[in-house]
């Protein structure tokens, strides 16, 4: 009977892990995921480990015996960290990593030293017990997750980890009867054990990736149930752009769509206020009174953030939001909560609480503060003066201007003259004086925008 080539098996296994690791690495360039990041480390460690085993005849014994065993510690450690990426506080991580490093050095050195003595027959026993214990720890972590969820992937990873544990311990015991000394021993029983073990380890990695893909798909299904167009819009942006900037734009478009679907205002209101905001910001910059300039693309950032000013209305009940008439005092208090709701929605877009997108940061300012008044009589926090972000002060005027000129269930549209006079009369009370001055200089441009993007 022809014995399976152990080197061919190791080479194929190493190549598979290298390929999967490279694919995940490319994926992680577009998104941050600590768990998948540790799986990439584990894949590359596996690949390096088994490439070294294949190369053993051409490298010194010291390296050929110690480095693969050193890496075997880290392959299990990285997979365990992928399951528990928030296991330790920051202050404990460096200490824990140091202990792992010391253990890996000690384990690899002990295997090498024993292999050079008459007790080398115990080498497979030590390796088997270590691998069995390591995979048992992983199985225990998966068991905790299994109790919290009925995920097909977690259940399978748990069963696979138990099987791997049993196989390593069985190989350790049988090594005394079949004279197995090293991983590269070309014997039938050794080849069969590694064939099954390596196949199970690879399937476990695939299950882990499948778990994250499954979670992503389920999350998108939940979003699609909330708004039928969400998934389609995100997919369209991904197809057109294919890069992080496109994905960010798609998310903004989705939020804009959600805002429009939950409001009785037209989409042109969003377009008009975008242009109003950009006009005022540009004029303030010309006058040397623009405070926001945090990047070279500041004008585009403000333009893209403006449509999200009323995103919080998605959390207002329909009977209040879409009421065909004036709101009662109680209803008005509920309606006013949309400012804080919008702020929370946008703030939750970053799981770590460290929002990197300047557009979202600006949108948070606008959503939470565009109903604040210069004299402190606004809501939700009663901010006044320059305590109100300038982006929100600009939006406050743009929003009121467009609302006064638009038809509402409870009012007729105002004339241009009435609207302009009203805004000027609130200079220094409701509106920032600098913003009103900029508006006065731009009255003609504002009127042209109203004509260009008129109501349907």
- Provide the pLDDT confidence category of residue 2 given band limits of 50, 70 and 90: very low
- Provide the pLDDT confidence category of residue 276 given band limits of 50, 70 and 90: very high
- Provide the pLDDT confidence category of residue 437 given band limits of 50, 70 and 90: very high
Asked whether residue 260 carries a pLDDT value surpassing 60, the answer given is: no
Q: Of 35, 62, 452, 369, which Cα lies nearest the Cα of 211?
A: 35
| pTM score, whole prediction | 0.47
Asked whether residue 170 carries a pLDDT value surpassing 70, the answer given is: yes
* Residue 447 · residue 417 · CB < 8 Å: no
Q: Spell out the domains of the chain, with CATH numbers in brackets.
A: 6-226 (1.20.1070), 228-261 (no CATH), 263-452 (1.10.3210.10)
Kindly report, residue by residue over 113-161, the tens digit of the pLDDT.
Answer: 887 888 877 888 888 888 888 888 888 888 887 887 777 888 888 999 9
Residues linked to residue 411 through DSSP beta bridges, in sequence order: 408
Q: Which residues have CB under 8 Å from 385's CB, separation 6+?
A: 374, 376
Kindly report, residue by residue over 14-50, the tens digit of the pLDDT.
Answer: 888 899 889 888 888 877 778 888 889 989 998 898 8
Asked whether residue 52 carries a pLDDT value surpassing 90, the answer given is: no
Determine the pLDDT at residue 275: 94
Asked whether residue 230 carries a pLDDT value surpassing 50, the answer given is: no
* Residue 1 · residue 188 · CB < 8 Å: yes
Determine the pLDDT at residue 281: 93
Q: How far apart are alpha carbons 442 and 419 in whole angstroms?
A: 14
| CA distances to 37, 302, 351, 355 from 348, in Å | 22, 20, 7, 9
Q: How far apart are alpha carbons 374 and 377 in whole angstroms?
A: 8
Determine the pLDDT at residue 241: 43
In degrees to the nearest 10, what's the CA dihedral of 264, 269, 273, 274?
110
3-state helix, strand, coil in the chain (%, to 5): 75, 0, 25
Kindly report, residue by residue over 76-121, the tens digit of the pLDDT.
Answer: 888 888 887 654 444 456 677 788 888 888 888 888 888 788 887 7
Q: How far apart are alpha carbons 425 and 422 in whole angstroms?
A: 5
Asked whether residue 404 carries a pLDDT value surpassing 60, the answer given is: yes
Cα of first residue to Cα of last residue in the chain, in angstroms, is 81
- Work out whether the CA dihedral 210, 39, 135, 169 comes out positive or negative: positive
Mean pLDDT for the chain? Answer: 81
Mean pLDDT for the stretch of residues 248-256: 58
DSSP string, 5-16: PHHHHHHHHHHH
Q: How far apart are alpha carbons 399 and 208 in whole angstroms?
A: 48
Q: How far apart are alpha carbons 229 and 313 in whole angstroms?
A: 18
Q: How far apart are alpha carbons 88 and 114 in whole angstroms?
A: 34
Return the percentage of the chain with pLDDT > 70, whole number. Answer: 81
């Amino acid at each position: 009977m022809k014995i399976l080539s152990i080197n061919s098996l190791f080479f194929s296994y190493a190549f598979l892990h290298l390929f999967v690791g490279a694919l995940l690495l490319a994926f992680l360039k577009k998104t941050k995921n600590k768990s998948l990041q540790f799986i990439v480390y584990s894949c590359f460690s596996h690949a390096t480990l088994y490439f070294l085993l294949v190369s053993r005849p051409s490298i010194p014994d010291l390296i050929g015996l110690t480095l693969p065993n050193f890496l075997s510690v880290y392959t299990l450690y990285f997979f365990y960290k992928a399951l528990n990426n928030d296991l330790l506080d920051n202050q404990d991580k460096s200490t824990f990593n140091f202990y792992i490093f010391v253990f890996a050095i000690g384990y690899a050195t002990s295997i090498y030293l024993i292999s050079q003595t008459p007790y080398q027959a115990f080498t497979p026993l030590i390796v088997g017990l270590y691998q069995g214990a390591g995979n048992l720890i992983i199985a225990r972590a998966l068991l905790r997750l299994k109790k919290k969820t009925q995920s097909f992937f977690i259940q399978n990873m748990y069963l696979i980890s138990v099987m791997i544990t049993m196989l390593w311990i069985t190989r350790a015991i049988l090594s005394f009867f079949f004279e197995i000394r090293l991983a590269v021993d070309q014997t039938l029983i050794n080849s069969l054990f590694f064939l099954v073990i390596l196949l199970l380890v690879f399937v476990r990695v695939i299950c882990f990736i499948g778990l994250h893909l499954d979670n992503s798909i389920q999350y998108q299904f939940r979003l699609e149930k909330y708004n039928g167009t969400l998934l389609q819009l995100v997919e369209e942006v991904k197809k057109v752009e294919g890069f992080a900037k496109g994905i960010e734009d798609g998310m903004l478009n989705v939020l804009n769509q959600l805002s429009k679907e939950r409001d009785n205002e037209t989409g042109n209101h969003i377009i008009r206020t975008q242009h109003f905001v950009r006009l005022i910001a540009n004029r303030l910059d010309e006058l040397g009174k623009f405070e926001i300039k945090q990047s070279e693309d500041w004008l585009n950032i403000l333009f893209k953030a403006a449509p999200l000013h009323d995103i919080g209305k998605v959390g207002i009940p329909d009977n209040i939001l879409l009421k065909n008439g004036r709101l009662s005092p109680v209803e008005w208090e509920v309606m006013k909560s949309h400012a804080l709701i919008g702020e929370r929605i946008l703030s939750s877009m970053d799981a770590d609480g460290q929002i990197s997108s300047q557009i979202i940061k600006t949108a948070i300012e606008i959503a939470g503060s565009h109903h604040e008044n210069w004299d402190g009589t606004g809501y939700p926090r009663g901010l006044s003066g320059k305590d109100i972000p300038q982006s929100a002060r600009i939006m406050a005027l743009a929003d009121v201007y467009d609302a006064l000129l638009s038809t509402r269930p409870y009012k007729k549209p105002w004339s241009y003259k009435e609207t302009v006079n009203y805004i000027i009369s609130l200079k220094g009370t409701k509106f920032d004086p600098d913003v009103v001055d900029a508006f006065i200089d731009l009255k003609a441009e504002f009127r042209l925008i109203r004509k260009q993007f008129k109501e349907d």
